[in-house]
Amino acid sequence: MAATILADTHEHLVEESRRLVPINDWLLPCDDWSLLFKEYLQDDLYSSGMSQSHARRFYDPEVAAADKYAIVAPYWERVQHTGYGRNFSVTIRELYGVDSFSLDNIELLDSRYREVRKPGFYEFILKRVCNISLCQVNSLERIFMETAQPSLLQQDLSIKEITRCSLADIAKVKAELGIEIDSFADWLAAIDLYFERFGRRAVAVKYVGAYYRALDFAHVDRHVAERHFATLVAPRPFIGVEGAQALEDYLFHYCLKKAQDYGLPVKIHTGYHAGSNLMPIGRVRDNAADVCKLLQSYPDIRFVLMHIGYPYQDEYIALCKHYTNAYIDMCWAWILNPEASVRFLVEFLVSVPSNKLLTFGGDFIVAENIVGHSVIARRGIAEALSALVHRGWIDRGAVPDLIDRLMHRNAEELFSNVAGPA
């Protein structure tokens, strides 16, 4: 397991250069070891009782390492056994040689963080430490990130802004493309331009809208969408929730047709929500049923259903077994719920063709965290396969090939024939 390369199909890494010249903003509030807590361990800290004001002080670049430890220690004690907590423990052990998170080790942790974070550290972490063969990035800053390291960081084309089409999104698109947008035709031309410019370089299309809406995209006539767009850009905008949704419905289908023309797989966030006090679980539960209609409407698009739809992963096993164009990505799942992920993998392998699964994505903005996650994932894959061998379901001789397939070959195959419009 350790010797086999691992394909990483989902991260949110910022450009390495941005990490090297920190500006302490909403994405990266500080530049010390506490940054490793920001995602996703922060969510467990809040859940365990940490207050917002404690969190603000914890990430304050001016607060000393020992003081940061004192702030987080009572909550760490509560979260250390979760997947997120374990991710942190394994990361500091494997990457920094720090055996445990304690006051005694805090100065060592502080200095090791700075030693590792130097030019070339992305390649060092991904290739040398994690043995990762390819890494796919969904930038949270750009619709398509023109990375300085294209051979290391493949990029998704993120369609959230171009489908949601809020006034802020329109401003962002204008700035990114350097064009004027005065009409609905201009907006559609802007979408065309994104695909023309980046469709051949993108590895997939990514849609994260499940965080704010259901995945039930109605078929809306163009003139209806156009009317809603006009009300949005009018001097006094009066587009309501329903109008905004209908506009996005139209634009989402528009983008899917573009993705189909370019042969791009479409990655869709399904399941659990990161963050705190925001998740409408009923809508999350409906993701699988809603996605079903997309799978049926676009048989030529390969859909990648992310995060195993946790905690509704049983339904995703059924979808993936039934639909020829459904694939599942275990990204993030290994630390959301490590035990459920092992169970999921066992159940998947005995019911779904093994080519339809992607087994790893750290889902991180901060590269260091990938270390812990990749170790937990490798161990989880080993546990699932061992269980099936032990029960006599999989022959021991078949294991090396299966490991290869699950850890990297499926990703190579799925994303190989992405090459511009037919």
**In the complex, which residues of this chain contact Zn ion (CB under 5 A)?**
363
Question: 143 with 157: CB under 8 angstroms?
Answer: yes
Question: 381 with 48: CB under 8 angstroms?
Answer: no
Q: What is the number of the residue whose Cβ is closest to Zn ion?
A: 363
Nearer Cβ to Zn ion (15/363): 363
Q: How far is the CB of 353 from Zn ion (least distance, A)?
A: 25
Query: In degrees, to the nearest 5, what angle opens at C-alpha 392 toward C-alphas 359 and 327?
Result: 25
Q: How far is the CB of 369 from Zn ion (least distance, A)?
A: 12
Q: How far is the CB of 134 from Zn ion (least distance, A)?
A: 17
Question: 36 with 114: CB under 8 angstroms?
Answer: no
Nearer Cβ to Zn ion (98/336): 336
Q: How far is the CB of 138 from Zn ion (least distance, A)?
A: 6
Q: How far is the CB of 12 from Zn ion (least distance, A)?
A: 6
Nearer Cβ to Zn ion (43/363): 363
- C-alpha distances out from residue 116 to 68, 99, 101, 281, Å: 20, 17, 18, 39
Nearer Cβ to Zn ion (225/268): 268
Q: How far is the CB of 257 from Zn ion (least distance, A)?
A: 24
Q: How far is the CB of 147 from Zn ion (least distance, A)?
A: 17
Nearer Cβ to Zn ion (162/333): 333
* Nearest partner of 334 among 10, 13, 5, judged by Cα: 10
- The order of strands in the sheet holding 266-269 is 6-11, 132-137, 153-158, 204-207, 266-269, 303-306, 326-329, 357-358
Q: In a 3-state reduction of DSSP, which class is residue 370?
A: helix
Nearer Cβ to Zn ion (110/363): 363
Interhelix angle 338-349/369-390, rounded to 10 degrees, is 50
Could you tell me where the beta strands, DSSP code E, fall in 150-210? 153-158, 204-207
Nearer Cβ to Zn ion (98/210): 210
The residues pairing with 303 across neighbouring beta strands, listed in sequence order, are 266, 326
